[in-house]
């Protein structure tokens, strides 16, 4: 006589997914544990459907652990259709939904900026994901006024603390839908204002004086009156004269 396996219809084979739904960031791994009310049950699943996501595949086992990637700037979803089997009989299936949030990509405009001391920065922050927020940290050398912060723009008044250009590096981290994107950096060069020096600083009528301005790399100067663009000019005023450099 052949053995016959009989399943109690009053106690159908079921599958419990824990959790029944899950949200992960792009590049993250699903973690769905499968169990049943029937000892010895096994589980298999198919993917129906997979929208805006790659990495989901059909399979079997006691857990669904798959690395999923959002293929665009919006949330993607994966539906796993899980079926239990015990004693050669199929049980009642269940559906597990995994939402995959995209990792935001930050863009800074401009990514490099040069300003004169006392002038505010003007850096606009955008992302491929509409709900992105931005936080930044600061390293500065030869500059004061830069500070860590958050928002969609970096507008900070910076001051060069010496006679040579100072540097500020803003490291910006985007976050959207609880997912953290790769940080980007923005470098701001802060040029000091020209510092005219007269030698000698006062002269008698008809005498000469040499006016010199501190040379800053990449900065041009114009003396008035006269319009000279040199860093040093020799002047012989015949009356009290104010010289300016810009």
Exposure string of 184-220, with b = 16+ CB inside 10 Å and e = fewer, is: bebebbbbbbbebeeeeeeeeeeeebebebbebeebe
Residue 230: pLDDT over 70: yes
Nearest to 245 by CA among 199, 205, 198, 175: 198
pLDDT of amino acid 10: 55
pLDDT of residue 244: 78
- The chain-wide mean pLDDT, for the chain, equals 90
Mean pLDDT of 125-134: 96
Q: CA nearest 53: which of 100, 96, 97?
A: 100
Q: Residue 216: what pLDDT?
A: 63
Distances (CA, A) of 185 to 8, 119, 222: 64, 20, 34
The verdict on whether omega for the bond into residue 35 sits within 30 degrees of 0, i.e. cis, is: no
Q: What is the pLDDT of residue 4?
A: 45
For residues 191 and 135, what is the distance between their CA atoms, to the nearest angstrom?
A: 26
pLDDT at 118: 95
* 88 token code pair: 């050669």
Block residue for tokens 């079926």: 83
Higher local confidence (pLDDT), 164 or 80 = 80
With a pLDDT cut of 70, the percent of the chain lying above it is 89
> In whole angstroms, what is the distance from residue 237 CA to residue 109 CA?
47
């Amino acid at each position: 006589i052949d053995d016959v396996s009989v399943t109690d219809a009053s106690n159908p084979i079921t599958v419990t997914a824990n959790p029944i739904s899950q949200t992960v960031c792009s590049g993250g791994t699903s973690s769905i544990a499968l169990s049943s009310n029937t000892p010895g049950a096994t589980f298999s699943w198919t993917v129906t459907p997979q929208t805006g996501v790659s990495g989901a595949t059909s399979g079997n086992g006691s857990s669904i652990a798959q690395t999923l990637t959002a293929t665009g700037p919006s949330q993607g979803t994966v539906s796993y259709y899980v079926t239990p089997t015990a004693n050669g009989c199929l049980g009642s299936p269940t559906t597990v939904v995994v939402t995959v949030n995209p990792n935001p990509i930050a863009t800074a405009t401009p990514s490099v900026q040069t300003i004169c001391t006392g002038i505010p920065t003007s850096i606009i922050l955008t992302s491929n994901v509409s709900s992105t927020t931005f936080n930044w940290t600061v390293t500065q050398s030869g500059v004061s006024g830069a500070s860590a912060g958050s928002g969609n723009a970096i507008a900070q008044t910076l001051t060069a603390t010496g006679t040579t250009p100072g540097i500020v590096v803003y490291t910006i981290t985007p976050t959207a839908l609880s997912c953290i994107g790769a940080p980007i950096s923005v470098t701001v060069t802060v040029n000091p204002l020209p510092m005219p020096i007269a030698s000698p600083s006062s002269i008698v009528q008809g005498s000469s004086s040499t006016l010199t301005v501190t040379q800053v790399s990449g900065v041009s100067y114009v003396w008035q009156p006269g319009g000279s663009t040199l860093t040093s000019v020799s002047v012989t005023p015949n009356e009290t004269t104010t010289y300016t450099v810009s």
